[in-house]
Amino acid sequence: MPIYEYCCTDCGKEFEEVVLGEATVACPHCGSTKVNKLLSRSHFRTGGPIVTGSPSANAITTRGKSGCASCSGGSCSTCH
């Protein structure tokens, strides 16, 4: 389920809301439907050590069984 962040233009409060389809979003603080969707912050990982059993290690292991199977680089960090 997608969770979106909004800012109410009437009261200025920021809030998160689970939105399905084209549902109208109302501010939980004042009830106004005059809201702006915010650009959400995200987190991602680039580089660093790979720990066995971690999501990064599993992704590399899975990737190596498909498109990288023919790679002769010996390590996913050498692929371009």
Residue 39: predicted pLDDT? 84
Residue 57: enclosing H or E segment and its boundaries?
Answer: helix 55-64
Residue 36: predicted pLDDT? 95
Q: What is the pTM of this model?
A: 0.49
> In degrees to the nearest 10, what's the CA dihedral of 70, 76, 77, 80?
40
Render 7-31 in DSSP notation, one character per residue.
EETTT--EEEEE--TTPPP--TTT-
Q: How confident is the model over 49-76, as a mean pLDDT? A: 57
pLDDT in tens, 29-49: 999 999 999 987 766 666 666
Beta bridge partners of residue 12, listed in sequence order: none
* pLDDT at residue 28 greater than cutoff 90: yes
